[in-house]
């Protein structure tokens, strides 16, 4: 692991401040857009973090950052890895639904599916190996899942804590921390798609962990750092890719909400009461879809750069950049957009090479 140097060419207005970084859900879209956000923050010298964490795909790159990996290492890992190869086959979808409706009757009682089309034991082992089998120590890190009824379950190096409902406080579940790999997997469990992950409480009871986006805060739980870390709204930088915008996914979510139950998909439109006071990055990610685990590297770079561009805009609107830095960031975004147009009909892989050359030349992403 190596540490990054500041190559931004100037001091950002927010460089001397320290922030809580929150990355929301959205599978591959969130994971890649979070990398784009981190690239922009690093380039502009904003790299003092009081805590880092998130849910679903957004929680993955932040775990590696908190463990001391350089941004270059994390980007290379995300670009080259086929995450689909880390998933294990679970039950057939018909068996998942039969169990959900029949054997366990969880659908009728308002619970979430107890089985899933895929399992994440291999992904958990991969995370554990990469993270050295321990919680990140370079930065404070957390991941958040939910239980079968939608309560927030915060997973940290100090153990697990649960918040039953909006307005409550986090109460201890267990003082024995689960592995960071299991915490991340628990945060990613889309009901029915992935099998839930177990968490053993101090009482001896076993909790089933599901997607962190299923709580009342939906896809970006900034309330976690407000409540657990006493973060002021001005100390929070959060990324929220929101729902996918294409017609297929609107139809899919409507269908799944009916078949699986309303609680199987995130509640829409819910934001923190202080959402207008935090620095919120909201990229419209069209490069990849949430479950496009085997996406080509060109598509991954598009999603990363969409996160980068949205972060430049958010930092500028939040008065965190000097005029010079904003112009430099805008130039990189403009150059990238020009590449996308000029290489639209070129051979696959050409865009990736040109983007990496652009980022190296501008100093956005260095070794």
Question: For the residues 164-177, what does the mean pLDDT come to?
Answer: 95
d(CA 245, CA 243): 6
Q: Beginning with the edge strand found earlier in the chain, give each strand of the sheet holding 159-163 in spatial order.
A: 171-174, 159-163, 152-156, 141-146, 49-54, 19-23, 236-239, 279-281
What band does 154 get if pLDDT is binned at 50, 70 and 90?
Answer: very high
What pLDDT score does 271 carry? 55
pLDDT of residue 105: 53
- Alpha-helical regions (H) of the chain: 27-43, 59-66, 71-80, 93-98, 121-130, 180-187, 223-228, 247-260, 297-317, 323-342, 350-362
Cα 185–Cα 189–Cα 190 angle in degrees, nearest 5:
150
Residue 67 pLDDT greater than 90, yes or no: yes
Looking at residues 31-42, what average pLDDT do you find?
A: 98
Q: With bands split at pLDDT 50, 70 and 90, how would you rate the model's confidence at 3?
A: very low
Q: Three-state SS for 204? A: coil
In b/e form, how buried is each residue of 44-65, taking b as 16+ CB within 10 angstroms? bbbbebbbbbbbbbbbbbbbbb
Nearest CA among 187, 206, 189 for reference residue 198:
206
Is residue 5 pLDDT above 90, yes or no?
A: no
Q: What angle do CA 208, 91, 191 make, to 5 degrees?
A: 40
Using CA atoms, how far apart are residues 67 and 135, in angstroms rounded to an integer? 8
Tell me the average pLDDT across 334-360. Answer: 91
Using the predicted structure, report yes or no on whether residue 17 has a pLDDT greater than 90: no
Q: How confident is the model at residue 9 (pLDDT cuts 50, 70, 90)?
A: very low
Which of 216, 218, 214 shows the shortest CA–CA distance to 148? 214
- Count the neighbouring beta carbons within 10 Å of the beta carbon of residue 180: 28
In sequence order, the 6+-apart residues with CB closer than 8 A to the CB of 350 are 298, 343
């Amino acid at each position: 692991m190596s540490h990054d140097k500041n190559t931004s060419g100037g001091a950002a207005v927010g460089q001397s401040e320290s922030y809580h970084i929150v990355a929301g859900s959205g599978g591959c879209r969130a994971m890649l857009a979070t990398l784009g956000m981190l690239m922009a923050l690093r380039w502009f010298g904003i790299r003092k973090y009081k805590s880092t964490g998130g849910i679903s795909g957004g929680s993955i790159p932040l775990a590696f950052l908190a463990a001391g990996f350089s941004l270059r290492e994390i980007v290379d890992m995300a670009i080259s890895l086929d995450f689909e190869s880390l998933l294990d086959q679970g039950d057939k979808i018909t068996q998942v639904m039969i169990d959900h409706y029949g054997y366990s009757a969880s659908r009728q009682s308002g619970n979430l599916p107890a089985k899933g089309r895929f399992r994440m034991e291999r992904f958990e082992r991969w995370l554990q190996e990469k993270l050295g089998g321990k919680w990140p120590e370079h930065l404070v890190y957390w991941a958040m899942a939910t239980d079968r009824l939608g309560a927030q379950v915060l997973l940290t190096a100090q153990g697990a804590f649960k918040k039953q409902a909006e307005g409550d406080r986090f109460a201890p579940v267990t003082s024995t921390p689960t592995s960071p790999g299991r915490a991340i997997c628990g945060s990613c469990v889309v009901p029915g798609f992935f099998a839930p992950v177990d968490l053993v409480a101090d009482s001896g009871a076993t909790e089933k962990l599901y997607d962190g986006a299923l709580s009342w805060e939906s896809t970006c739980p900034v309330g976690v750092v407000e409540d657990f870390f006493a973060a002021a709204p001005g100390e929070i930088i959060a990324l929220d890719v929101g729902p996918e915008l294409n017609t297929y996914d609107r139809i899919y979510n409507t269908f799944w909400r009916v078949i699986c139950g309303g609680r199987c998909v995130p509640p829409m439109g819910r934001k923190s009461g202080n959402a207008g006071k935090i620095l919120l990055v909201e990229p419209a990610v069209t490069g990849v879809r949430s479950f496009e685990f085997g996406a080509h590297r060109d598509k991954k770079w598009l999603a990363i750069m969409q996160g980068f561009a949205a972060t430049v805009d958010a930092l500028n609107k939040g008065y965190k950049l000097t005029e010079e830095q904003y112009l430099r960031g805008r130039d990189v975004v403009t150059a990238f957009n020009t590449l996308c147009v000029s290489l639209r009909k070129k051979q696959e892989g050409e865009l990736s090479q040109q983007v990496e050359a652009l980022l190296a030349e501008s100093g956005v992403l260095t070794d």
